[in-house]
Amino acid sequence: MGGRLAGRVAVITGGASGIGLAIAERFLAEGAKLVLADLNAPLLAQRQTELGDDVATRTVDVRIEAQVEEMVALAVKRFGGLDLAVNSAGLATWAPIVDHTEEQWDTVLDVCLKGVFLSLKHEARQMRAGGAGGAIINIASLNAFQPGEGMSAYCAAKAGVEMITRVAAMELGGDDIRVCGIAPGLVDTPLTTPLANLPGVREAYLENTPLGRVGTPADIAAAALFLASEEASWVSGTTLSLDGAANTKRYPELMKLLAG
């Protein structure tokens, strides 16, 4: 076991699978204690069994402020404070703008952007109250910077995450609270598998990724560990592109691919 996060307490939203789970496992291996939050209660119960006593779990809908506040309170009650947070909960829909429903738009913006706002708000309040500073990491996306066809809601939400990361870093720096983002490209997770497995889609992503592979949750977890650690003590207000240099090229033409 490493010790880069020894004695630190973290909350992770969207922590039952994918990127959130990989970050949780990496933080645990480095000595942190965790509150793992997710909307999937059965999967959270499974993670509790797998990960052990240094993890507390909480079923949380990040769109509901009272539940987010309770998540943060659990970290204090169970482990004595809050030093780190990773806001990873998210989802996406796909539809051209002219066909995108209001319900789809609201769902994506509420989970991906409002959820980050509410989480950041209560995490920062507790860190400020604790008086010892902290680090908050928001999971954005390549689509915060690069538009994707049929992804207007997701692109808008993730662009908002990138900007709220900068605003929060500006406001909270005086409290020694660092706020950073990570913008992954295509990463193999349960969320991306249905899209990536459609004919031609994975190949199109790879063609537009100079390093020639999709990402893994472990790639993102390694970056999150750096940003959470003291090695990044002067890093704040920036969002790290983690996409195999896909940001240097163009996004796949999904409308052509999905039209068959």
Choosing from 94, 117, 154, 205, the catalytic residue is 154
* The pLDDT of residue 97: 96
The stretch 47-53 carries a mean pLDDT of 95
The Cα–Cα gap between 2 and 194 comes to: 35
How many domains in the chain?
1
Question: Domain range spanning residue 170?
Answer: 9-189+216-243
Kindly report, residue by residue over 113-153, the tens digit of the pLDDT. 999 999 999 999 999 999 999 999 999 999 999 999 999 99
In a domain, 206, yes or no: no
Residue 23, pLDDT > 80, answer yes
Average pLDDT over residues 59-80: 98
40-50 average pLDDT score: 96
Measured in degrees and rounded to the nearest 5, phi and psi for residue 35 equal: -105, 120
Residue 168 included in any domain: yes
> What CA–CA distances, in Å, run from 167 to 164, 171, 173, 179, 241?
5, 6, 10, 9, 18
Rounded to an integer, the average pLDDT of 73-82 is: 98
The reported pLDDT for the residue numbered 1 is 52
Residues recorded for the chain: 260
- Please tell me which residue, 177 or 256, carries the higher pLDDT value: 177
Place of tokens 């000595």: 31
- The CB density around residue 38, as the number of other CB atoms within 10 Å, is 24
Q: Quick one: pLDDT at residue 260?
A: 61
Express each pLDDT in 144-186 by its tens digit: 999 999 999 999 999 999 999 999 999 999 999 999 999 999 9
pLDDT band for 192, please (50, 70, 90 cuts): confident
254 assigned to some structural domain: no
Mean pLDDT, the chain, rounded, equals: 96
> Is the pLDDT score of 223 beyond 80?
yes
CATH number for 169: 3.40.50.720
- Is 204 within a domain? no
Q: Tell whether 248 is covered by a domain.
A: no
Between 168-172, 199-203, 223-227, 229-233, the lowest mean confidence (pLDDT) is in: 199-203
Q: Is residue 203 part of a domain?
A: no
* Residue 1 belongs to a domain: no
Q: Is residue 54 within 8 Å of 34, Cβ to Cβ? A: yes
DSSP labels, 132-158: S-EEEEEE--GGGTS--TT-HHHHHHH
Whether residue 10 has pLDDT greater than 60: yes
205 is catalytic: no
pLDDT of residue 257: 85
Say if 221 falls within a structural domain: yes
